[in-house]
Each structure stands twice: as structure tokens, then as C-alpha cells.
A and B are shown apart, each in its own frame.
Chain A
Amino acid sequence: MTNKFISLAHGGSTGEPGKGGTMKILVGVKRVIDYNVRVQINREGTGVITDGVKMSINPFDEIAVEQALRIKDAGGADEVIAVSIGPGAAQQQLRTALAMGADRAILVETDAEVQPLAAARVLLKLIEKEEPSLVMLGKQAIDDDANQTGQMLAALWDKPQATFISALDVTDGKARAVREVDAGLESIEVSLPAVFTVDLRLNEPRFVKMPDIMKAKRKPLETIALDDIGIEAPPMVENLGCEPPPKRAGGTKVDSVDALISALKDKGVL
């Protein structure tokens, strides 16, 4: 069930041009444990094991990158900039975004944990520098599932936001987005620049092609130390400990309805 709708017949500049007259899209890319991997808690119970574990682009961010590229391919933007905040190894994920088609990448490097407010503040700094018309983020990262960065960023930046989007149409400095909300779908219109957080059904990311991986190696990737970016971001949340979910006890089979009822009564659920 993927929504492929994107109509950008309108070529050239569609939003407010940023610095230098070019339309830029800034896309957030977080390095997370791959969604196929069974996550394990470390022995000390302080976090999860990442050593030797497959890491990937947060799947929602991959969708955000894809959407940014589709907007650019349709003439709606001039440049797609992929941004990550995290360890040096996050360059791998940025290289993947570059291989998908992003034009350049910025890594704000830190080995410390990055919480949503800190991420939003860093992104705001980059926005001030790059002046993008659209900021595309995943609706949440699959590691902490916080679902906060996009909203915080919009507030700090004081710009409109469209969250959980499953369709997007950008024309004439405005964006129409379809949001996945509890009651169904909500269509909204926001003026640009704005922050978008994408949901699963927005698109199906492309496969990376081998020649593009080679090209990506030569695309610019700028690294900035977090300390040099000048933000205050004391951790707002303290991790007290991690533990695996309790083990499920084996079920039992009953041979009649009566037995089932009495078993349920024994458990106190009836």
C-alpha cells in the first residue's frame, strides 16, 4: 500500500529561494540498528548491544530522503542535503543517502547520546546556515521512537509543520500534505519553509545502484564537531536502566469450553 502520488508539473523554483537563490531540501538521516536485527540488551542493563550489529538509515529517514529526491527530480528543488548527528560511523549512512542521490552531506559528530531537543537545536543551527525551504525528517527513529525532533524543530524555528505525512505536493511556495491521523487522513496546506515528518506510506525508497555508490564516494561530506556548533543541549531524559520484556510462559491447551472457563476463572480474568 504505497502512495506514489507526487505531481510537480511546475518546474523550477517552487518555494522561497534560500541563500544564493537555490531551493534546498535538508533531510535528517539517523544511524540506527537495522530493523531486521533482534535488539539485545547489554549485560550491565545500561543500553542495547551495538557492537558488531548491523546499522542502517532509520527507515523513516530513508523515506524522507526518497521524497526529497523525488521533489528534486521533478524540478521542485535544486539541492538535497543529507544531515546526520552521531558518531563518525554515521558517515556510512550519509554515503548511502548520497548514493541514493543526495547532493552533499553534513555530519555533526558526537559520540554522546543525542536526545530530540539537542537534535532539533543542531538542525536549527544548520538551517540558519543553509536556509532550506523544506526540512524533511522521519516521523520518528526506530531506536528511541521519540517522535519529537520534527515538532521541536518547527517550534524552535517558528515555522509550520506537517507531521506523519503520507502524501506531499509542493507548488508555488506552498505544500499540501496528507497526514495520517488517528481518525483517518487529514489534508493540510502549509506555507514554505516548513518541517515535514514522513510516515511509512509516503513512498517506497529506491534501490541504490552500484555506479551511484561509486559517485557517492566523491560527493562532499562535511564533518563538524558537535562542540563547534555552539548549542546548549543538556540531556533532558536520564536512562535509568534497560531490561528485556518478561519471558512469556508457555500456554496450555484445554479440551473443552468448560475447562477453558474454569481456567480463566482460576486466573481471575472471568
Chain B
Amino acid sequence: MTDRDVMEYDVVIVGGGPAGLACAIRLKQIKPELSVCLLEKASEIGAHALSGAVMFPKPMDDLLPEWRENQPGFCVEVRRDQFLFLTRRKAFRIPTPPQMRNHGNFVISQGALVRQLGEKAEALGVDVFPGFAGAEALIEDGKVIGVRCGDMGVEADNKPGPAYAPGVDIHAGVTVLAEGCRGSMSKQLIREFRLDAGRTPQTYGLGFKELWQLPKGRGEPGRVVHTAGWPLDSKTYGGSFLYHLPDDQIYIGFVVGLDYQDPNFAPFEAFQQYKHHPKIKALLDGGELISSGARTLAEGGIQAMPKLEAPGMILIGDAAGMLNVAKIKGIHKAVRSGMTAAEHLTETGSAEGFDACWHASYSATRLRKVRNIRPGFNKGMVWGFVNAAWETLTGGRSPWTLKTHADHESLKRVDGAEVAAVEAKWHAQRQLPPRDRLASVYLANTAHDENQPVHLHVADTSICATQCYEEYRNPCTRFCPAQVYEIVEDEAGGDRRLQINASNCVHCKACDIKDPYQIINWVPPEGGSGPNYQNL
């Protein structure tokens, strides 16, 4: 038995994103005497935060009315909205769907926003601990009693190294999980307490984002452009975003539904291809790529949300899947859910009843209205747009609720057929940076101590070498945005084995979601590891 320190708090919050920090701030606003602790696995608050992002500001106005006077960096009010449909060479202007109109919203950097929220939380007396990962939930007699932080200084062979420091146990009356999409502890607890019973499976998207410095005069601060269509085929859900910031900087990104079917599809390559569309390339040419990253997001909607509570714990934000896919926004829902949770906790003193409390809220009503829009795209883009129009016209009053499906089941098999080497072809055509995924990882400033255990647990690597190779040609080598997974063949081309380059990982969680055999388990590495995003 390792001797662990124990720290006691009224509330422990896992995750320093908008949901967790909003919850911490609201708790202290209502009851300053509460002791609140917040864990963040990134080296500092905001270093793992990545989102488009256009934010609907109302929840922030309610949480911190003064935020507009002291806006975080990279913040600009939306001035112009465009929605384009792309073909290989052309772009067609189509009407912006009503949910995607952004008048009054703000283009923000989620990283800059949460950094500011983190300072605010600390000023209010929250104990904010960046660099400490919540490794597992502590459960006693069917109740969550707190969190065990990850050990530090464990060597690659899982033995304690010279600087070994066992993780602290944090005991708390309530544990709030605000880990964001596919949180590892949320996954553990959803399974443990069967919180997803009776819900349709959660479905996800994988988003990429880059920050560019354009040549002088090319930017148009506050301009927001979204696209659908090329290079995705009509069966694959997704699209791009392009947000103009001040000083000729832009955020450009691409989101792909992880329910894509083609095992040969490479989401990162699709994003790079999109950047080479004549309309987009003209904008980027001569510019400089400054930073990049990737993160998954929950797209299942309200019907895929797990129950938001279990004894001693609650789930908030995108850990619970609260993204509004029709609006392609989640930060406001995350902030709002953190506030709702804090209000519930200070009122009742326990996690009990939070699920009902949230479902009675305005947020739930909004999500219910748009519940059928994303799953409508399961039957392809045309049907998806028709269905979206219907759902919008009827205000979501359809008597049915469309079901989602699990992303790991959607891949078609290659069954031994050779897969086309599209990746090599795209590489040859590429003119804009990054050169490849490793160049992109470099711009994520990701860092993991090489001497720590691999944090991507693959239950049975023999499946990779044989069954997966035959059936799907190892899609992990393509869907991972950081080239963590490689299949290495020996000289003779006979023996194949999986090589995991864990230190490249940008903590997006796509592998944990999309792996068709569900044998990859993403666990948090040593606290402070992972990307160091700047203003994404």
C-alpha cells in the first residue's frame, strides 16, 4: 500500500474547462465558505482547451456580468455570417441555417477564456490545481467519495522512479465531472453506475483547429464562414469553420463525424485537402501557420446524454454530451450547466436530483428542440438537410426521436482488399503547412515525459496485427490526428506489430471512441503532460 496524502473538500471538480470553472465560480459566488478544489490535467489552465469557437454570450453574462469590459484575448464580436457549400472547385453561398446565425455572438479562444475563468476562480478562493490529472474515482459503498490523482514519476515499466510521488486522494462530498468529451473518469463512472442505460449510444465528432497569421490586410475581424460538402462525400457528416480575428489572424478548422464508414478515410487529410480548395487556399497563401490541435466533441444530443448523476457525483458540460450540434456550440451550455450544478449543490447539498433539475432547465428544452437534426444526417447529406429543415420549421415538435448509433460500429470492412494509398497522393499535392501530422503535433507543443508508462492501453495488440489488419486495415493509423498509432512491419514484410507513439498524443480521445474493437482505453498520463495549446 502506497502512503497517500488525503485532502478533504466540500466539492472536487475534475476538469478546468468552461463547465468546471463556471461551476467552481458559481459555487463560491453563492457560498464563499464552501471548500472547492479543481483538478486540471494540463500543465496550466487552458493548455488543453480547444474549441472553434463562436460563443453565445448569455451564460457568461449571467456568470460574470463584467466579462465584456475585460474580454479575454482573441475575442471579437461576430459581424458577418456566411454558409458555403463546397464542390471540388467551386463554392456556393447557401442560406445560413437559423440555428447557425451568429449575430451577437463572439468569436473566442476557449483557451484564453478559461485562463481568465481560472484566475477568477482562484481569486474567489477555489484551489485550482493544474498539472494534476484525476486518475480514477474513489467509490465506497456505491457512492463516489472523491478522486485519486495520478501518480507522478512512474517509470515506463510501471515501477516508481526516483522522483516518484503518489497521487493525492481527494475526498469530497460531491465530485463534479467536467472532463469534456469522452472524459476517462466519466467513462469509468458511466459504466460503473450504468448511467447510459436506456439512452441511445453517444456519437462523436473529431475537430481540428489551426491558428494562422495572414498577410496584412487580408483578415476581416468578426467574419464567420462555415462550409459543408467537399472534400467529404455525402455519407460523411462534417464541415469547416473559418473565423476571422483581429490583426489578420484566423482560426480555421474542420469537424468530421466519427460515424464515418470508409475505413480508409483519414480525417486529418480531409482537413488539409479542404484548405487547398481554391477559395480557401487563396486566403491562406502567404500566411503562416502558428499553432494547431485536435479534440473530439459529443454530437449525440439529448437522447444520448447519460444520466447526469450518481450517488456523490454529477456530470456537466461535454462530459455529459451537452453540445448543441445544430448550433455547433457547446461552451454556453457548458458554462450554463456548471452554473446549474452549482445552484443545485448549494441549494440541496447533494448530487441527488441534479438530473431532473437539469432536464427541467431551459438548456434541456433547447437541446430537445434540435435533437433530431444531427441523427438525420445518418442517412446522408441530402436527407440530413431536408430533415434539418423540417425539424427547424416544426421547432422540433416531431413526435419521434431519431436514434444515434455507436461510432465504433460504423466502419465498413475492407476484408483483405487493398486500400488505395490516398494519403500518399494527398501528401504529394500539399502546398500549405503542415507538411504532415507530425509537423502539426509540433505546433501543438505537446510533451510527455518519454520515461512514463504508455497511457494508451491496448487490451490485445494481436488483434491489430491480424484481425484488424484484415478487416479494417488498422484505421487507428489514419484517424489519430497525432500519428500515435503505427503498424510496423519487419523487413521481410511478414510480421506486423502495433507501435504506440504515446508522446505524440494531443488528448483528443478519437482512438478511444472509433477503434472498431473497443480495445483502446485512453487513460490520463502524468499530470502536466499533453499539448500546450496557446489561444486555441
Contact = CB atoms under 8 A, between A and B. Distances in A.
Contacts of B532: 34, 36-37, 54
Contact of A211 (B7, B152, B442, B534): B7
- Determine which residue in A53, A207, A209 has the highest number of CB atoms from chain B within 10 A of its CB, and name it: A207
Contacts of B43: 34, 36, 54
Nearest to B129: A210
A207 B44 contact: no
Nearest to A217: B127
A4 interface: yes
B73 A209 contact: no
A208 B43 CA distance: 12
A213 B132 CA distance: 12
Interface string A42-57: 0100000001111000
B445 A210 contact: no
B129 A213 contact: yes
A22 B247 CA distance: 55
B149 A52 contact: no
B364 interface: no
B73 A210 contact: no
A214 B129 CA distance: 10
Given A51-B73, A54-B532, A210 B168 contact: yes
B445 A36 contact: yes
A207 B163 contact: yes
Interface residues of A, number: 22
Contact of A52 (B73, B129, B213): B73
Nearest to B168: A210
Q: A-side binding surface: helix, strand, loop or mixed?
A: loop
Contacts of A40: 290
- Determine which residue in B162, B290, B446, B534 has the highest number of CB atoms from chain A within 10 A of its CB, and name it: B534
A54 B47 CA distance: 8
A265 interface: no
Contacts of B384: none
A37 B290 CA distance: 12
Interface in B160-178: 162-163, 165, 168
Nearest to A34: B532
B383 to A, nearest CB: 43
Interface string A197-212: 0000000111111110
A209 B165 contact: yes
A209 B111 contact: no
Contact of B442 (A38, A209, A210): A38
Q: How large is the interface on B (under 10, 10 to 19, 20 to 34, 35 or more residues)?
A: 20 to 34
A210 B112 contact: no
Interface in A1-23: 2, 4
B443 interface: yes
Contacts of B5: 209-211
B414 to A, nearest CB: 31
- Determine which residue in A51, A52, A208, A210 has the highest number of CB atoms from chain B within 10 A of its CB, and name it: A210
B275 interface: no
Interface in A208-257: 208-211, 213-214
Given A37-B445, A43-B247, A210 B290 contact: no
Nearest to A210: B168
B447 interface: yes
A215 to B, nearest CB: 12
B153 interface: yes
A195 to B, nearest CB: 27
B507 interface: no
A260 to B, nearest CB: 23
A52 B129 CA distance: 18
Contacts of B129: 210, 213
B115 interface: yes
A37 B163 contact: no
Interface string A70-92: 00000000000000000000000
A221 to B, nearest CB: 15
Contacts of B535: 52
B2 to A, nearest CB: 13
A36 B168 contact: no
B162 A204 contact: yes
A210 B534 contact: no
Interface in B113-135: 115, 127, 129, 131-132
A37 B534 contact: yes
A214 B532 CA distance: 24
Nearest to A66: B163
A37 B213 CA distance: 18
B112 A4 contact: no
A169 to B, nearest CB: 19
Contacts of B290: 40
A38 B532 CA distance: 10
A211 B168 contact: yes
Given A37-B534, A43-B247, A210 B111 contact: no
B7 A53 contact: no
Contacts of A214: 7, 127
Contact of A209 (B47, B109, B168, B443): B168
17 contacts: A4-B162, A36-B446, A37-B445, A38-B445, A43-B247, A52-B115, A54-B43, A54-B445, A54-B534, A204-B162, A204-B163, A206-B165, A207-B165, A208-B131, A209-B165, A210-B7, A214-B127
Given A210-B7, A214-B127, 11 more contacts: A34-B532, A36-B445, A36-B532, A37-B445, A38-B442, A51-B73, A52-B111, A52-B534, A209-B5, A210-B149, A211-B168
Interface of B: 5, 7, 43-44, 47, 73-74, 109, 111-112, 115, 127, 129, 131-132, 149, 152-153, 162-163, 165, 168, 213, 247, 290-291, 442-443, 445-447, 532, 534-535
